[in-house]
């Protein structure tokens, strides 16, 4: 499809996230052939003509948002079923996930994509939970979104229903997946190696998957929660802390994205920083599941060492929502409270993690993550003609502390408008919502995983 040129003109505040972090008032952006061709003051771009012009006078425009850890496939149809005090829902989570059919996964994914793009996410990483990428490809294509996919593999025992293969098969499947998918959708789809975690994979498998990722010049992500108990187990088993173990076997460095990263110690932070390893953190999941951010959250230390961190929303049954603006808000407020120190994780740092730093953490920072000439045109326009945006003095503070993704008005990915004045055009929402509710009923009936629908009498 040919690209139309696009101009967003007279932008109230244009947050470029460029090297100087310039914020341009009365700004303008010109998009040609899917890339940003000019950025500046509206008067500097007065001569620029485009096929379509969007009036930015009431808009705050930011780069598109990155979600570095987002299990998209299973949870929408059963979102919210777990009561608050359900101690460890993970066993149910994986049983539900492994019970999804192809058609169910397609529809759950489609709903996830709507929620993502309508709140400004232009790129997400699904850590291996999509079982039917062939079926979901159409949904990604229709949504116009960028996605990093992989096949989740393990070769060790696990308390959960995870896909387990003999090591050679796990490697072959990963190799096959990357060869088949990497670069599809005009480069919007990337395929990575996705071992579930160091605890569920043998050393040999982790090393082989890293080699596959390196050979294909792509990435590798895995779950990486450590903490006191995991550290002790790891020291007994491998003679190292979990992160030092990964370093000792060579599964670390640029191109390795560690998810969650709660409970890491000073030595592990140093190892991550020195090796150029990147991190995805899910602040809402950490808070909602009581992971103990005051004791285990190390985001400020990682930021201080220059580690590139992407934010994640984990899953619709962890953080429950897929709104990266709310994840920014949580990142910016939870460390102030945890440390009783208002200097922790400023609003600007939260916005960097959702944009330029997130893109860098996901290996896409050269082409994406900021509004600069030559970069791919991924843009989010927030509608400030809403009560939560008033009064407007500091657009970064208003975005991170006042707003949420529901004021996203228009989203551009690769120069194409995918959300236009609050509307997406790739799915019939009322029909899809009914379908997903039905899938949720079927899934609960089929698996027997169900909970009382309310603590209060429901008639």
Q: List Cβ neighbours of 352 (8 Å cut-off, separation of 6 or more).
A: 17
- Smallest separation (angstroms) from Zn ion to the CB of 241: 21
In angstroms, the CA 199 to CA 319 distance is 23
In angstroms, the CA 149 to CA 167 distance is 20
Block residue for tokens 């529809």: 107
Instruction: Between 67 and 407, name the residue whose CB sits nearer to Zn ion.
Output: 67
Q: Helix, strand or coil for residue 82?
A: coil
- Smallest separation (angstroms) from Zn ion to the CB of 285: 9
In angstroms, the CA 323 to CA 263 distance is 25
Largest separation between any pair of C-alpha atoms in the chain? 68
Residue closest to 150 by CA, chosen among 76, 73, 204: 73
Burial of 321 (0-12, 13-18, 19+ CB in 10 A): middle
For the beta carbon of residue 23, count every other beta carbon within 10 angstroms: 15
Q: Helix, strand or coil for residue 29?
A: strand
- Smallest separation (angstroms) from Zn ion to the CB of 188: 22
Instruction: Between 127 and 150, name the residue whose CB sits nearer to Zn ion.
Output: 127
Instruction: Between 56 and 127, name the residue whose CB sits nearer to Zn ion.
Output: 127
In angstroms, the CA 154 to CA 206 distance is 9
Instruction: Between 120 and 127, name the residue whose CB sits nearer to Zn ion.
Output: 127
Touching Zn ion, residues 202-261 (CB under 5 A): none
- Smallest separation (angstroms) from Zn ion to the CB of 259: 6
Instruction: Between 127 and 365, name the residue whose CB sits nearer to Zn ion.
Output: 127
Instruction: Between 290 and 306, name the residue whose CB sits nearer to Zn ion.
Output: 290
- Smallest separation (angstroms) from Zn ion to the CB of 29: 34
54: tokens are: 């969007």
Residue 350 near residue 300 (C-beta atoms within 8 A): no
Please give the span between the terminal C-alpha atoms of the chain, in angstroms, as a whole number: 52
Q: List Cβ neighbours of 307 (8 Å cut-off, separation of 6 or more).
A: 269, 272, 273, 277, 278, 279
Size of the site for Zn ion (CB under 5 A): 1
Burial of 142 (0-12, 13-18, 19+ CB in 10 A): middle
Residue 212 near residue 255 (C-beta atoms within 8 A): no
Touching Zn ion, residues 127-186 (CB under 5 A): 127
Instruction: Between 223 and 409, name the residue whose CB sits nearer to Zn ion.
Output: 223
Q: Write each residue from 38 to 77 as x if it is in contact with Zn ion (CB under 5 A), else as -, in one continuous string.
A: ----------------------------------------
329: tokens are: 């808000």
123: tokens are: 């790129």
- Smallest separation (angstroms) from Zn ion to the CB of 318: 8
- Smallest separation (angstroms) from Zn ion to the CB of 127: 5
Q: Write each residue from 116 to 135 as x if it is in contact with Zn ion (CB under 5 A), else as -, in one continuous string.
A: -----------x--------
- Smallest separation (angstroms) from Zn ion to the CB of 300: 22
Touching Zn ion, residues 271-310 (CB under 5 A): none
Instruction: Between 317 and 370, name the residue whose CB sits nearer to Zn ion.
Output: 317
- Smallest separation (angstroms) from Zn ion to the CB of 62: 26
- Smallest separation (angstroms) from Zn ion to the CB of 20: 35
Instruction: Between 291 and 435, name the residue whose CB sits nearer to Zn ion.
Output: 291
Instruction: Between 63 and 127, name the residue whose CB sits nearer to Zn ion.
Output: 127
Residue 150 near residue 173 (C-beta atoms within 8 A): no
Residues found near Zn ion in the complex (CB under 5 A): 127
């Amino acid at each position: 499809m040919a690209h139309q040129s696009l101009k967003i003109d007279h932008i109230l505040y244009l947050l470029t996230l460029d090297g100087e972090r310039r914020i341009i008032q009365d700004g303008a952006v010109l998009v040609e052939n899917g890339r940003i061709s000019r950025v500046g003051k509206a008067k500097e771009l007065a001569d620029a003509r485009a096929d379509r012009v969007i009036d930015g006078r009431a808009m705050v425009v930011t780069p598109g948002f990155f979600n570095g850890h987002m299990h998209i496939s299973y949870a929408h149809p059963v979102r919210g079923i777990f009561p608050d005090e359900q101690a460890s829902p993970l066993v149910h989570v994986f049983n539900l996930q492994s019970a999804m059919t192809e058609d169910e996964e397609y529809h759950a994914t489609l709903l996830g994509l709507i929620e993502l793009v309508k709140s400004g996410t232009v790129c997400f990483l699904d850590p291996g939970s999509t079982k039917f990428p062939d079926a979901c490809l159409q949904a990604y294509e229709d949504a116009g979104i960028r996605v990093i996919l992989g096949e989740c593999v393990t070769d060790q025992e696990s308390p959960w229903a995870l896909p387990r293969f003999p090591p050679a098969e796990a490697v072959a499947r990963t190799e096959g997946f990357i060869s088949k998918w990497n670069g599809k959708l005009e480069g919007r789809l990337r395929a990575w190696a996705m071992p579930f975690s160091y605890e569920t994979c043998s050393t040999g498998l982790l090393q082989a998957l890293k080699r596959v990722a390196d050979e294909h010049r792509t990435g590798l992500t895995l779950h990486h929660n450590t903490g006191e108990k995991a550290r002790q187990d790891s020291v007994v088993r491998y003679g190292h802390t979990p992160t030092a173990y990964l370093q000792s076997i060579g599964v670390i460095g640029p191109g390795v994205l560690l998810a969650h990263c709660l409970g890491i110690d000073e030595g592990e932070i140093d190892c991550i920083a020195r090796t150029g390893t990147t991190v995805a953190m899910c602040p809402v999941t950490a808070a909602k599941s009581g992971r103990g951010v005051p004791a285990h959250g190390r985001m400020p230390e990682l930021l201080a060492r220059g580690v590139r961190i992407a934010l994640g929303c984990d899953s619709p049954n962890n953080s429950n929502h897929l709104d990266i603006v709310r994840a920014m808000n949580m990142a910016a407020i939870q460390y102030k409270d945890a440390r009783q120190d208002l200097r922790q994780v400023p609003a600007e740092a939260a916005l960097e993690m959702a944009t330029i730093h997130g893109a860098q953490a996901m290996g896409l920072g050269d082409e994406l993550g900021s509004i600069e000439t030559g970069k791919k045109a991924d843009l989010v326009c927030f509608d400030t003609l809403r009560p939560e945006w008033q009064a407007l003095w500091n657009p970064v503070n208003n975005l991170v502390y006042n707003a949420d993704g529901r004021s996203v008005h228009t989203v551009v990915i690769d120069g194409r408008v995918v959300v236009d004045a609050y509307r997406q055009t790739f799915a019939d929402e009322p029909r899809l919502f009914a379908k997903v509710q039905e899938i949720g009923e079927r899934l609960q009936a089929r698996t027997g995983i169900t909970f009382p629908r309310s603590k209060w009498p429901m008639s």
